[in-house]
Structure 1
Amino acid sequence: MSADSLRHHRPFLAFWSAQVMTAGGFQVLTVAIGWQMYTLTGSALDLGLTGLFEFLPRVLFMLQIGHVADKYERRLICALTKALQVAGALLLFAGSIGGWLNRETIFAVAFLLGTARAFEMPAMQALLPGIVPAPLLPTAVAAAASARQAAIIIAPAIGGFLYAVGPDLTYGLSALAYAVATGLMFALPQQKPQGGAQKATLDNLLAGIRFIRSRPDIFGAISLDLFAVLLGGATALLPIFAKDILHTGPWGLGLLRSAPAVGAIATSIWLAHFPLRQRVGRTMFIAVAVFGVATIVFGLSTQFWLSLAALVVLGVADMISMVIRGTFVQLETPDTMRGRVSAVNGLFIGASNQLGEFESGVTAALLGPMLAVVLGGVGTLAVVVIWMRLFPTLAQRDTLH
């Protein structure tokens, strides 16, 4: 099967479409939640706490998440978790219609969504290698990433404009997107792991952590992303930048959230046609450094167009790093371990994103949003330098597998 035949491969098309709907639903929901929370409380800390509540399930259920993905039918896991996200969006819809939506309800829904996404991610990641042949996995990873980024370009802008009409419309659209993604899961072949985790013993559940620790390149790549994005993440503060610094409305927030995806999808399309094959370690480190520089530029900018441009560059850099990391982690992990390894990887990604949002909220509350973002970008550059010394084989890595 050639790379072009992915376009006619029905299971992959269903997987790709589900990625579009899931990412779109989440992005629409994120714009609405962020703007509504900041409108209700005017607190940078509450924006950060929203990210913290979404992250907590990854810690509380970390050992069970990977075990579930390696023991039970993965397609069904994905369908159930997407259905749970439908319920979260409908709860926000009802609260908006009824006028009783408050910060506590938003925190509760964030925890619910975080739980669903925590169980969903390793199962979705482990599904892909069973859908396409190994030689096409780098192309499929990039193509799947382009699906998410396509949704991230369009969905936040739609969500921002719809929110200006009424938040209930935004929450309703999100619920619809999640419902479509739930249905698409049943177009995929059943995929229950053979010979994987059978008992939820502590030793078995910790196997994913031991596996990653035994592979320095995998551990270095995952931890690089953790600390770089943890320090450099500014997405939680976008409502503050949109409203107080760049002086736009919810439509401006939607465009700001879309901007990284513009760079990311252009990059993913390029990588799908021209996969990275050489000097992948050095390329990944350069990409993370560019991510840090773009974060600094965004933090210093008071012009809407410059802020958008910085976020586009940030998206380019993040996509390059993500494709390299995601591809070689999957290629070097046996199928019976993919769920547990993906669960640990999901914990790291969740820490870098949601816990990074909490860190940004706390720092912004103490130092102000602009200084918080700039210091985060500087911290990302420092992480790149330190990790190149700690993981020299990763920096010198030439191929993905």
Structure 2
Amino acid sequence: MHIPPSLKHKKFFYLWLGQLISVTGTQMQLWALFWHINHLNENPMALGGIGVARILPVIIFSLIGGALADSMDRRKVMFVTQSIAALLAVTLGLLTQFGQITIWYIYLITALQAVVVAFDGPSRQALIPNLLPKKDLPNAFSMTFTAFEAGAVLGPALSGIIIASFGQEAVYYFNAISFVAVLIALVMIGDVPQSIAATSSGVSWKAIKDGIHFIFSKPIIFSTMMVDFVATFFASASTLMPIIAKEVLNVGVVEYGYLSAASAVGAVLVAVILSQVKEIRRQGMVFAAAVVVFGIATIVFGMTKSIVVAWLAIAVTGGADGVSTIVRNTIRQLQTPDHVRGRMTSVNQIFFMGGPQLGEIEAGAVAQFFGAPFAVVTGGIGCIVGTILILWKWPQLRTYNGDEPMLAGATAD
């Protein structure tokens, strides 16, 4: 194995390392919240409610966040958002520690954190191409995904252990500390030049409309967003995992943490493999096939009563999602000029976050009436059917191969 070329660029490496630490804390908190809510209220709709809190602010504020990322110093925007996120995590920990926490406080703080994400996400994603040469961008996207999924492996597993050992509030404090890693990275990165065109439109309704028009004028970009939304809307099994763990698999909080980490384990393995692959051909078919595999594995998870099979099925969903994420993100970023990259990312953020968050509501409602296993299985079926319909509607996606093979790994040149 060789060192990925993107990590040879110091500024990108600082951001990558900071994100790895921060995502671990964020994933710890996310899975702890699911467990916390299920402890406070065992109604499946209570778990679905957190999806509303996580997506509505993103829908409302992401487009503004995208315009901001194209008109201001992206590094400074991130510094503010990361600082606020740390304070919100501390607040959640204090309320829990002193026995004042309620499900409504969890919803409120989760919604405020989603506002932060709406502004942070576009700046963070748009900042990456400013940190290294274009030839190393595909590998940078692959390594960024690896960092996020590595954090997602550690986060859920550590979350269960920490809750069992130190209490629920400890997870929230760990998350607050993890944001400091990104703040340090942003200081070490220093000034980052942005395209002059990126600051010309300002934060305005016209700038937002221009970004939306760009998305709709690119069928390949828009169709990948649609597949992302439909697949995760139907096959979002994560919100029902506490119920599956307790009522179907008959396991406790520690095993729940391991099960929650399975998706990220599969994703990391795939990301490491892809980081060593020279190129990916027929990207459209690779992307579509990965999403179909995601749906099939979701069906298996919903049907099994074995913790081993369930873990393997979730790991496969993570690996399939890893392939689709790396391919689609690389396609979008390489086809988007710097002056509109923040706005493209903000629209994409609504799609890729909206799918699973709204899917949590759908899954909770179906589980309420028909049970969690039925909700998961039908969700996997919906994922497959939806993907096939989108491929029929936009055949360009099915046949897409780019102007040349997509560089995926360390030998990007």
- TM-score (normalised: structure 1): 0.96
Aligned partner of 1:179 in structure 2 is 180
For the 8 Å contact 1:11–1:187, the answer to whether it is kept is: yes
Which amino acid is 2:291 matched to? V
1:194-213 equivalence runs, <5 A: 194-196=196-198, 197-213=200-216
Looking at structure 2, the residues matched to 22 and 324 of structure 1 have their Cα atoms a distance apart, in angstroms, of 24
Asked if the contact 1:74–1:190 (Cα under 8 Å) also holds between the matched residues in 2, the reply is: no
| CA shift digits 1:11-63 (9 cap, x unpaired) | 12111112212211111001211111100111111111111101111121133
1:207 positional shift: 1.4
Query: Does the residue aligned with 1:71 lie in a helix, a strand or coil?
Result: coil
**Structure 2 letter corresponding to 1:374:** V
Instruction: Give the structure 2 partner of residue 245 of structure 1.
Output: 248
1:62-87 per-position Cα deviation (integer Å, ceiling 9, x unaligned): 33111111111101111211112111
Q: Which residue of structure 1 lines up, in the alignment, with residue 47 of structure 2? A: 47
State how far apart, in whole Å, the 2-side matches of 1:91 and 1:201 are: 33
Gaps of 5+ in 1: none
Deviation by residue 1:247-297 (Cα, 9 ceiling, x = unmatched): 112112211111011110011111111044311101110000000000000
Kindly indicate whether the alpha-carbon contact (under 8 Å) linking 1:139 and 1:273 is maintained by their aligned counterparts in 2: no
C-alpha distance in 2 between matches for 1:185 and 1:305: 41
CA positional deviation for 1:88: 1.6
Please tell me whether residue 310 in structure 1 is matched to residue 313 in structure 2.
yes
Q: Which residue of 1 aligns with 2:393?
A: 390
Partner of 1:296: 299
SS at match of 1:248: coil
Aligned partners of 2:230 and 2:387 also within 8 Å: no
**CA–CA distance in structure 1, aligned partners of residues 330 and 253 of structure 2:** 35
Distance 1:253 1:228, change over 3 A: same
CA distance in 1, matches of 2:42, 2:163: 17
| Percent identical | 30
2:145 is matched with 145
Map of 2:409 onto structure 1: none
- Does the aligned pair in 1 maintain the 2:267–2:315 contact within 8 Å? yes
What is the one-letter code of the residue matched to 2:260?
A: R
Residue 133 of structure 1 aligns with which residue? Answer: 133
Task: Report the equivalent of 2:323.
Answer: 320
Which residue number corresponds to residue 36 of structure 2? 36
In the alignment, the residues of structure 2 paired with residue 310 and residue 94 of structure 1 have an alpha-carbon distance, to the nearest angstrom, of 37
Residues 366-385 of structure 1: matches in 2 within 5 Å? 366-385=369-388
Which stretch has the larger CA shift, 83-92 or 342-351? Answer: 83-92
- Residue in structure 2 matched with residue 87 of structure 1 by the alignment: 87
Alignment-mate amino acid for residue 296 of structure 1: I
- The answer (yes or no) to whether the contact 1:138–1:272 under 8 Å persists in 2 is no
Equivalent positions of 1:199-348 (< 5 A) are: 199-348=202-351
Code of the residue aligned with 1:57 in structure 2: it is: P
Could you tell me whether the CA contact under 8 Å between 1:3 and 1:136 is conserved in 2? no
Task: Give the aligned partner of residue 357 of structure 1.
Answer: 360
Q: Deviations over 1:223-266 (max 9, x none)?
A: 11111111111111111112221111211221111101111001
Q: Using the alignment, how far apart are the partners of 1:150 and 1:28 within structure 2?
A: 12
In 1, the alpha carbon distance for the partners of 2:72 and 2:204 equals: 16
Letter in 1 for 2:118: A
Q: More deviation in 302-311 or 271-280?
A: 271-280
Q: CA deviation at 1:3?
A: 6.5
Contact 1:72 1:193 in 2 (8 A): no
TM-score normalised per structure 2: 0.94
Equivalent residue, structure 2, for 1:62: 62
Deviation of 1:4 (Å): 4.0
- 1:57 and 1:357 mapped to 2: Cα distance? 16
Report if aligned partners of 1:3, 1:139 keep a CA contact under 8 Å in 2.
no
CA distance in 2, matches of 1:276, 1:47: 41
- Please tell me the residue identity of whatever aligns with 2:95: G
Partners of 1:20 and 1:148 within 8 A in 2: yes
Gap change, CA 1:201 and 1:117, over 3 Å in 2? closer
Amino acid of the residue matched to residue 69 of structure 2? A
Determine if contact 2:93/2:173 at 8 Å carries over to the other structure. yes
Distance 2:72 2:372 in 1: 44
**In structure 1, distance between residues paired with 2:369 and 2:203:** 43
Paired with 1:276 and 1:355, the residues of 2 have a C-alpha distance of 34
Instruction: Tell me if structure 2 keeps the 8 A contact 1:58–1:115.
Output: yes
Q: Write the distance in 2 (CA, Å) between the matches of 1:364 and 1:187.
A: 47
State the distance in 1 between where 2:369 and 2:29 align: 27
Give the aligned partner of residue 190 of structure 1. 191
- Tell me the secondary structure at the aligned position of residue 233 of structure 1: coil
Q: CA offsets per residue over residues 354-376 of structure 1, 9 Å max, x none?
A: 22222211221222111111111
How far is the alpha carbon of 1:5 from its aligned partner? Answer: 4.1
